[in-house]
Amino acid sequence: MSQSREQLARQLAEAVAEALRADLAERERALLVVSGGSTPVPFFEALAAMDLPWSRVDVTLADERWVAEDADDSNARLVRAHLMQGPAAAATFVPLTSAAATPEEGVTEVSERLAALTWPASVVILGMGGDGHTASLFPDSQELGLALSTADSVVAVRTPSQPQPRITLSADRLHRCPRHFLHITGEEKRTVLGRALAGDDTRALPIRAFLAGPLGIYWAP
Protein backbone atom coordinates (compact mmCIF):
# COMPACT_ATOMS: atom_id res chain seq x y z
CA MET A 1 0.00 0.00 0.00
CA SER A 2 1.48 3.37 -0.98
CA GLN A 3 2.11 5.88 1.80
CA SER A 4 0.18 9.06 2.31
CA ARG A 5 1.45 12.51 1.45
CA GLU A 6 1.75 13.23 5.18
CA GLN A 7 3.86 10.11 5.75
CA LEU A 8 6.01 11.08 2.73
CA ALA A 9 6.50 14.59 4.13
CA ARG A 10 7.64 13.19 7.49
CA GLN A 11 9.98 10.74 5.78
CA LEU A 12 11.55 13.52 3.72
CA ALA A 13 11.84 15.76 6.77
CA GLU A 14 13.70 13.00 8.63
CA ALA A 15 16.11 12.52 5.73
CA VAL A 16 16.78 16.26 5.51
CA ALA A 17 17.26 16.55 9.28
CA GLU A 18 19.74 13.66 9.18
CA ALA A 19 21.70 15.36 6.39
CA LEU A 20 21.82 18.67 8.23
CA ARG A 21 22.94 16.99 11.46
CA ALA A 22 25.70 15.14 9.59
CA ASP A 23 27.03 18.34 8.03
CA LEU A 24 26.72 20.35 11.23
CA ALA A 25 28.90 17.76 12.94
CA GLU A 26 31.63 18.76 10.46
CA ARG A 27 31.09 22.47 9.83
CA GLU A 28 29.89 25.57 11.63
CA ARG A 29 26.90 26.24 9.39
CA ALA A 30 24.78 24.23 6.97
CA LEU A 31 22.71 25.42 4.01
CA LEU A 32 19.31 24.06 3.04
CA VAL A 33 17.88 24.95 -0.38
CA VAL A 34 14.13 24.44 -0.73
CA SER A 35 11.60 24.87 -3.51
CA GLY A 36 8.30 26.68 -3.38
CA GLY A 37 4.89 25.79 -4.77
CA SER A 38 2.19 23.87 -2.90
CA THR A 39 3.73 20.42 -2.46
CA PRO A 40 6.31 21.34 0.20
CA VAL A 41 3.89 22.62 2.90
CA PRO A 42 3.53 19.38 4.94
CA PHE A 43 7.26 18.75 4.55
CA PHE A 44 8.09 22.26 5.77
CA GLU A 45 5.83 21.82 8.78
CA ALA A 46 7.31 18.42 9.67
CA LEU A 47 10.88 19.70 9.33
CA ALA A 48 10.20 22.90 11.29
CA ALA A 49 9.23 20.87 14.36
CA MET A 50 12.43 18.85 14.39
CA ASP A 51 15.12 19.22 17.05
CA LEU A 52 18.14 20.61 15.18
CA PRO A 53 20.77 23.31 15.92
CA TRP A 54 18.67 25.59 13.76
CA SER A 55 20.63 28.72 14.69
CA ARG A 56 23.47 27.25 12.60
CA VAL A 57 21.26 26.60 9.55
CA ASP A 58 20.74 28.94 6.60
CA VAL A 59 17.69 28.38 4.41
CA THR A 60 17.32 29.74 0.90
CA LEU A 61 15.17 29.05 -2.15
CA ALA A 62 15.84 27.24 -5.41
CA ASP A 63 13.80 29.92 -7.13
CA GLU A 64 11.44 32.80 -6.47
CA ARG A 65 8.81 34.83 -8.14
CA TRP A 66 9.88 38.48 -8.38
CA VAL A 67 7.13 39.73 -6.11
CA ALA A 68 6.93 41.38 -2.70
CA GLU A 69 7.38 38.98 0.22
CA ASP A 70 3.79 39.60 1.31
CA ALA A 71 2.40 38.67 -2.11
CA ASP A 72 0.22 35.55 -2.18
CA ASP A 73 2.54 33.79 -4.66
CA SER A 74 5.81 34.63 -2.88
CA ASN A 75 7.89 31.56 -2.07
CA ALA A 76 9.53 33.56 0.72
CA ARG A 77 6.09 34.08 2.24
CA LEU A 78 5.42 30.33 1.98
CA VAL A 79 8.73 29.43 3.66
CA ARG A 80 8.33 32.01 6.42
CA ALA A 81 4.77 30.81 7.10
CA HIS A 82 5.43 27.05 7.15
CA LEU A 83 9.14 26.37 7.69
CA MET A 84 10.53 29.32 9.66
CA GLN A 85 8.28 28.40 12.59
CA GLY A 86 8.70 26.63 15.92
CA PRO A 87 12.26 25.36 16.46
CA ALA A 88 13.16 26.22 12.86
CA ALA A 89 12.40 29.91 13.50
CA ALA A 90 15.97 30.09 14.87
CA ALA A 91 17.34 29.39 11.38
CA THR A 92 18.31 32.21 9.01
CA PHE A 93 16.17 32.63 5.90
CA VAL A 94 17.96 34.18 2.91
CA PRO A 95 15.46 35.43 0.30
CA LEU A 96 16.09 35.59 -3.44
CA THR A 97 14.50 38.98 -4.09
CA SER A 98 15.72 42.55 -3.60
CA ALA A 99 14.20 46.04 -3.82
CA ALA A 100 15.09 46.17 -7.52
CA ALA A 101 12.10 46.50 -9.86
CA THR A 102 13.11 43.49 -11.95
CA PRO A 103 15.08 40.28 -11.41
CA GLU A 104 17.53 41.42 -14.09
CA GLU A 105 18.37 44.43 -11.94
CA GLY A 106 18.45 42.31 -8.78
CA VAL A 107 20.64 39.34 -9.76
CA THR A 108 23.94 40.98 -8.75
CA GLU A 109 22.76 41.79 -5.23
CA VAL A 110 21.16 38.36 -4.79
CA SER A 111 24.27 36.64 -6.12
CA GLU A 112 26.47 38.51 -3.65
CA ARG A 113 24.06 37.59 -0.84
CA LEU A 114 24.25 33.91 -1.76
CA ALA A 115 28.05 34.01 -2.04
CA ALA A 116 28.23 34.62 1.72
CA LEU A 117 26.53 31.28 2.46
CA THR A 118 28.15 27.89 3.08
CA TRP A 119 28.33 26.11 -0.28
CA PRO A 120 27.95 23.30 -1.21
CA ALA A 121 24.48 23.21 0.29
CA SER A 122 23.78 20.23 2.51
CA VAL A 123 20.52 19.47 0.78
CA VAL A 124 18.57 20.71 -2.23
CA ILE A 125 14.86 19.95 -2.32
CA LEU A 126 13.44 20.08 -5.84
CA GLY A 127 9.84 20.10 -6.94
CA MET A 128 8.57 19.54 -10.45
CA GLY A 129 5.77 20.96 -12.51
CA GLY A 130 3.57 19.04 -14.94
CA ASP A 131 5.72 20.47 -17.76
CA GLY A 132 8.84 18.93 -16.26
CA HIS A 133 10.23 22.21 -14.93
CA THR A 134 12.12 22.31 -11.67
CA ALA A 135 13.10 25.42 -9.74
CA SER A 136 12.40 28.01 -12.43
CA LEU A 137 14.02 26.05 -15.22
CA PHE A 138 11.03 26.09 -17.55
CA PRO A 139 10.87 24.47 -20.99
CA ASP A 140 9.30 27.61 -22.50
CA SER A 141 11.69 30.06 -20.88
CA GLN A 142 13.97 32.02 -23.19
CA GLU A 143 16.65 31.89 -20.48
CA LEU A 144 16.57 28.10 -20.04
CA GLY A 145 19.74 27.55 -22.05
CA LEU A 146 21.58 30.14 -19.96
CA ALA A 147 20.24 28.72 -16.69
CA LEU A 148 21.41 25.24 -17.72
CA SER A 149 24.91 26.36 -18.76
CA THR A 150 26.03 29.42 -16.80
CA ALA A 151 28.48 29.32 -13.90
CA ASP A 152 26.59 32.27 -12.37
CA SER A 153 24.65 31.37 -9.24
CA VAL A 154 21.33 32.98 -10.21
CA VAL A 155 19.51 33.82 -13.43
CA ALA A 156 16.59 36.13 -14.12
CA VAL A 157 13.87 34.18 -15.90
CA ARG A 158 10.87 35.27 -17.97
CA THR A 159 8.46 32.57 -19.03
CA PRO A 160 5.30 32.87 -21.17
CA SER A 161 3.57 30.24 -19.03
CA GLN A 162 4.22 32.13 -15.80
CA PRO A 163 2.54 35.41 -14.75
CA GLN A 164 5.55 36.73 -12.85
CA PRO A 165 9.20 37.24 -13.76
CA ARG A 166 11.36 34.95 -11.66
CA ILE A 167 14.86 34.39 -10.39
CA THR A 168 16.28 30.89 -10.18
CA LEU A 169 19.42 29.22 -8.96
CA SER A 170 21.30 28.04 -12.00
CA ALA A 171 21.65 24.32 -12.69
CA ASP A 172 25.34 24.66 -11.83
CA ARG A 173 24.56 26.14 -8.41
CA LEU A 174 21.81 23.61 -7.74
CA HIS A 175 24.25 20.82 -8.58
CA ARG A 176 26.68 22.10 -5.91
CA CYS A 177 25.26 19.79 -3.31
CA PRO A 178 25.83 16.12 -2.46
CA ARG A 179 22.16 15.48 -1.78
CA HIS A 180 19.20 16.21 -4.04
CA PHE A 181 15.68 15.20 -3.10
CA LEU A 182 12.78 15.41 -5.56
CA HIS A 183 9.46 15.89 -3.77
CA ILE A 184 6.45 15.27 -5.97
CA THR A 185 2.93 13.91 -5.55
CA GLY A 186 0.14 12.65 -7.77
CA GLU A 187 -0.16 10.38 -10.78
CA GLU A 188 0.42 13.17 -13.34
CA LYS A 189 3.86 13.99 -11.96
CA ARG A 190 4.71 10.31 -11.70
CA THR A 191 3.94 9.99 -15.42
CA VAL A 192 6.00 13.08 -16.28
CA LEU A 193 8.92 11.75 -14.27
CA GLY A 194 8.65 8.44 -16.11
CA ARG A 195 8.84 10.30 -19.44
CA ALA A 196 11.82 12.30 -18.16
CA LEU A 197 13.64 9.13 -17.13
CA ALA A 198 12.98 7.59 -20.55
CA GLY A 199 14.55 10.41 -22.58
CA ASP A 200 17.49 12.84 -22.67
CA ASP A 201 16.24 16.16 -24.09
CA THR A 202 16.77 18.42 -21.07
CA ARG A 203 15.36 21.45 -22.90
CA ALA A 204 12.03 19.61 -23.23
CA LEU A 205 11.91 18.38 -19.62
CA PRO A 206 14.41 20.37 -17.51
CA ILE A 207 14.11 18.00 -14.52
CA ARG A 208 16.38 15.79 -16.63
CA ALA A 209 19.29 18.03 -15.58
CA PHE A 210 19.09 16.31 -12.18
CA LEU A 211 18.32 12.69 -13.08
CA ALA A 212 21.87 11.64 -13.97
CA GLY A 213 23.22 12.12 -10.46
CA PRO A 214 22.13 10.72 -7.10
CA LEU A 215 18.53 11.87 -6.57
CA GLY A 216 16.25 10.79 -3.77
CA ILE A 217 12.75 10.59 -5.23
CA TYR A 218 9.97 11.17 -2.72
CA TRP A 219 6.60 10.45 -4.33
CA ALA A 220 3.15 9.67 -3.01
CA PRO A 221 -0.15 9.38 -4.89
Ligand X SMILES: O=C(O)[C@H](O)[C@@H](O)[C@H](O)[C@H](O)COP(=O)(O)O
Residues that bind ligand X (CB under 6 A): 35-39, 62-63, 75, 127-129, 133-135
CB of 36 to ligand X, least distance (A): 4
**DSSP states of 60-76 as a string?**
EESEEESS-TTSTT-HH
Pairing of strands 180-185, 216-220: parallel
Residue closest to ligand X when measured from CB atoms: 127
CB of 123 to ligand X, least distance (A): 15
Nearer residue to ligand X within complex by CB, 53 or 141: 141
Residue 171 to residue 178: CA distance in whole angstroms: 14
Question: Helices (H), strands (E): how many in the chain?
Answer: 7, 9
CB of 220 to ligand X, least distance (A): 13
Nearer residue to ligand X within complex by CB, 45 or 63: 63
CB of 218 to ligand X, least distance (A): 12
In angstroms, the first-to-last Cα distance of the chain is: 11
CB of 128 to ligand X, least distance (A): 6
221 CB neighbour count, 10 Å cutoff: 11
Pairing of strands 57-61, 92-94: parallel
Nearer residue to ligand X within complex by CB, 55 or 161: 161
Nearer residue to ligand X within complex by CB, 83 or 135: 135
**3-class state of residue 152 by DSSP:** coil
Q: 206: burial class by Cβ within 10 Å (0-12, 13-18, 19+)? A: buried
Nearer residue to ligand X within complex by CB, 22 or 145: 145
Nearer residue to ligand X within complex by CB, 122 or 185: 185
190 CB neighbour count, 10 Å cutoff: 14
CB–CB of 76/69 below 8 Å?
Answer: yes
CB of 31 to ligand X, least distance (A): 17
